[in-house]
Structure 1
Amino acid sequence: MVKIGNIELPDFPLLLAPMEDVSDPPFRKLCKMHGADLMYSEFISSEGLIRDAIKSRKKLDIFDYERPVGIQIFGGDEEAMAMSARIVETVEPDLVDINFGCPVKKVVCKGAGAGVLKDIDLMVRLTKAVVSSTHLPVTVKTRLGWDNDSINIDEVAERLQDVGIKALTIHARTRAQMYKGEADWEHISRIKNNPNIEIPIFGNGDVDSPEKALEYKNKYNCDGIMIGRGAIGYPWIFNEIKHFFETGEILPEPTIAERLEAVKNHALWSVEWKGERPGIVEMRQHYSNYFRGIPHFKEFKTKFLQALTLEQIDEVIEETKHFYQENVI
């Protein structure tokens, strides 16, 4: 068993990464159905929460079926981070996570996300401000450092543990790498083997198959794995990994019917949560992901993108299902 404060997770839990425009409640529900052990909201601006920005507030929506679930915040001002943690606490998530890893320029330019990697003292102060302002367990997600010449994750891990975080997730890239190149998990292994580190250490970066998950589990000795891009359009990855750990068998890929069922549910839950127009518009980014690598999908993708109501989406689903039943791929 892995513990984050008073939260009990199974041995070697699988976490769904907080991803902007992806990790919303509809997608989290699918991932929970398919085996995710702990999930996080999309990251939320501390300044946006304090300004009462509608988009930021909407991201606070969590549901009991998701638990345990964390809400992730980011920012570069201690007072704002403390205040936003108190706001987060009112919706009663299971934990608060701080984003010190987002490499996107508009976040970094505000001295938040991975921008804080240049200033460990500030990172410690921001973390302490959050820990001091909430009774919830506080966790952190970060990267190895700003670039290869300034990898500082060893110091970061110890100092953040000292101010009270209950778990640390490390994306095994620098900010300079963005999402390119190969993640270097040797750093994660070194942190995990540091005798001063007592909190759970979760690894993140490049895990996109059961085989790779088992290899990284055995090789790098982390307490669990966080999966981001590997789950986009493929929520089945969590149960596939668990099945492989238990049996050594690779589950067959989801059928066309199972993929269409996921699309149907995702679209329905998206509309229920956001309203019909925004729910359908925001669903458009997901269709290709669910059918990545499936031949002859292009024509149906166009039809999905043109659908304006749930009824029209259902019609395209039935047409797609019929085509693949008639034409075995």
Structure 2
Amino acid sequence: MVQIGNIQLPDFPLLLAPMEDVSDPPFRVVCKANGADLVFTEFISSEGLIRDAIRCRRKLDIFEEERPTGIQLFGGDEARLALAAKIVDVTQPELLDINFGCPVKGIVAQGAGSGVLRDVPLMVRLTEACVKSTSLPVTVKTRLGWDDASKNIEEVAERLQDVGIKALTIHGRTRCQLYKGEADWSLIAKVKNNPRIHIPVFGNGDINSAQKALEYKNRYGVDGIMIGRAAIGYPWIFREIRHYLQTGEMGAPPTVRERITVCKEQLRKSLQWKGPVAGVYSMRKQYFQYLKGLPGIKDYRSRLVTLTSPDEINNVLDEILLRYEGFEIERAPIELVNYHENCPL
């Protein structure tokens, strides 16, 4: 078992990464149902939360069936981040995570996200302020450093553990890499093997198959892995990894019926959470991945992204199931979206 504060997770847990405009409650629910052990919200601005911005407040919503859930905050001011932590505490998630890894220029310019990597003492003060402001277990997600010349993750891990964090997730790139090149897990392994480190250490970056998950588990010895981009439109990645870890064999890919069923469930939850207009709109970007690999699917997909009636959308999904049920979609490598590819340094 892996312990984060009072949260007990299975051996080698699989975590869903916090992803802006992706990791909303409907998506987290379907990932949880398909094998994710711990899920995280989209990152939330401490400033927006304090100012009662509607968008930020909505990000605190949690469906019971997705728990355990961590709420992730970002911010560069100690007092404001601590106050936001108190607000999060009231909403009763299972844990609070601090984002020191987001490379987006707008967030870095605020002195938040991976922008804090240039000031380790500030990172420590921000973390300590959160730990002292909440009764929740506090965890951190970060990167190896700001650039190749400042890969300071070993020092960061020790200092953050000293001020009270209960787990650490490390993305194997620097901020300046964004999502380019290959994630370097060797420094993650150094943190895990540091005799001073006794909290769980999770690795993140480039896991897009069950085989790679097992390879990295054995090679780097981390306590678990966090999966982000590979889960977009394919929540079964968690199920496939767990099956492969337990048996050494690949399980069957999701059938067309499973794909349609999960797509409908995410739509139902989106309507429940966002309402009939926003719920329909937010699902439009999901259909491509759910239906990928079906021949002649373009016309159906075009209808799905233009319809506004939930009933009509469900009818089209039923048509797709009727036409394609029994069709075996060939398993293909999961393509990792290059987030923020146009984000200047």
Give the TM-score taking structure 2 as reference length. Answer: 0.93
Structure 1 328/289 Cα, relative in aligned 2: closer, same or farther at 3 Å?
Answer: closer
Aligned residue in 1 for 2:211: 211
d(CA) in 2 for partners of 1:289, 1:100: 29
Q: Could you give the per-residue CA deviations for residues 295-322 of structure 1, whole angstroms, max 9, x where no partner exists?
A: 3322221111011011111121022223
d(CA) in 2 for partners of 1:231, 1:325: 23
Q: How many angstroms does 1:323 deviate by?
A: 2.8
d(CA) in 1 for partners of 2:310, 2:31: 21
Contact residue 38 and residue 67 of structure 2 kept, 8 A? yes
d(CA) in 1 for partners of 2:191, 2:199: 10
Aligned residue in 1 for 2:253: 253
d(CA) in 2 for partners of 1:298, 1:206: 29
Aligned residue in 1 for 2:112: 112
Q: How many angstroms does 1:5 deviate by?
A: 0.8
Give the TM-score taking structure 1 as reference length. Answer: 0.97
Aligned residue in 2 for 1:264: 264
Aligned residue in 2 for 1:198: 198
Q: How many angstroms does 1:294 deviate by?
A: 3.6
Aligned residue in 2 for 1:163: 163
d(CA) in 2 for partners of 1:325, 1:33: 22
Aligned residue in 1 for 2:339: none
Aligned residue in 1 for 2:96: 96
Aligned residue in 2 for 1:305: 305
Q: Do structure 1's residue 227 and structure 2's residue 209 form an aligned pair?
A: no
Q: How many angstroms does 1:85 deviate by?
A: 0.2
Aligned residue in 1 for 2:15: 15
Larger displacement relative to structure 2 (289-298 or 76-85): 289-298
Q: Could you give the per-residue CA deviations for residues 39-63 of structure 1, whole angstroms, max 9, x where no partner exists?
A: 1111100000000000000000113
Unmatched 5+ residue regions in structure 1?
Answer: none
d(CA) in 2 for partners of 1:295, 1:184: 37
Aligned residue in 1 for 2:77: 77
Contact residue 138 and residue 166 of structure 2 kept, 8 A? yes
Contact residue 255 and residue 328 of structure 2 kept, 8 A? no
Larger displacement relative to structure 2 (57-66 or 227-236): 57-66
d(CA) in 2 for partners of 1:303, 1:76: 44
Q: How many angstroms does 1:327 deviate by?
A: 7.2
Aligned residue in 2 for 1:178: 178
Q: Could you give the per-residue CA deviations for residues 53-80 of structure 1, whole angstroms, max 9, x where no partner exists?
A: 0000000011322221110000011011
Aligned residue in 1 for 2:47: 47
Q: How many angstroms does 1:12 deviate by?
A: 0.4
d(CA) in 1 for partners of 2:163, 2:6: 17
Q: How many angstroms does 1:328 deviate by?
A: 7.0
d(CA) in 2 for partners of 1:120, 1:292: 43
Map 1:276-295; keep pairs closer than 5 Å.
Answer: 276-295=276-295
> What is the one-letter code of the residue matched to 2:263?
V
Larger displacement relative to structure 2 (246-255 or 163-172): 246-255
Q: How many angstroms does 1:239 deviate by?
A: 1.2
d(CA) in 1 for partners of 2:5, 2:325: 49
Aligned residue in 2 for 1:132: 132
Q: How many angstroms does 1:160 deviate by?
A: 0.4
Structure 1 145/123 Cα, relative in aligned 2: closer, same or farther at 3 Å?
Answer: same
Larger displacement relative to structure 2 (78-87 or 260-269): 260-269
Structure 1 327/79 Cα, relative in aligned 2: closer, same or farther at 3 Å?
Answer: closer
d(CA) in 2 for partners of 1:293, 1:215: 27
Structure 1 80/296 Cα, relative in aligned 2: closer, same or farther at 3 Å?
Answer: same
SS at match of 1:254: coil
d(CA) in 1 for partners of 2:190, 2:282: 40
Aligned residue in 1 for 2:338: none
d(CA) in 1 for partners of 2:84, 2:263: 34
SS at match of 2:305: helix
d(CA) in 2 for partners of 1:263, 1:318: 11
> What is the one-letter code of the residue matched to 1:244?
Y
d(CA) in 2 for partners of 1:123, 1:31: 31
> What is the one-letter code of the residue matched to 1:52?
D
Q: Could you give the per-residue CA deviations for residues 274-297 of structure 1, whole angstroms, max 9, x where no partner exists?
A: 101001111111111223344332
Unmatched 5+ residue regions in structure 2?
Answer: 330-345
Aligned residue in 1 for 2:342: none
Q: How many angstroms does 1:326 deviate by?
A: 8.8
Contact residue 16 and residue 36 of structure 2 kept, 8 A? yes
Q: How many angstroms does 1:178 deviate by?
A: 0.9
d(CA) in 1 for partners of 2:246, 2:261: 26
Contact residue 256 and residue 326 of structure 2 kept, 8 A? no
- Number of residue equivalences: 329
Q: Superposition RMSD on alpha carbons, in Å?
A: 1.3
Q: How many angstroms does 1:135 deviate by?
A: 1.1
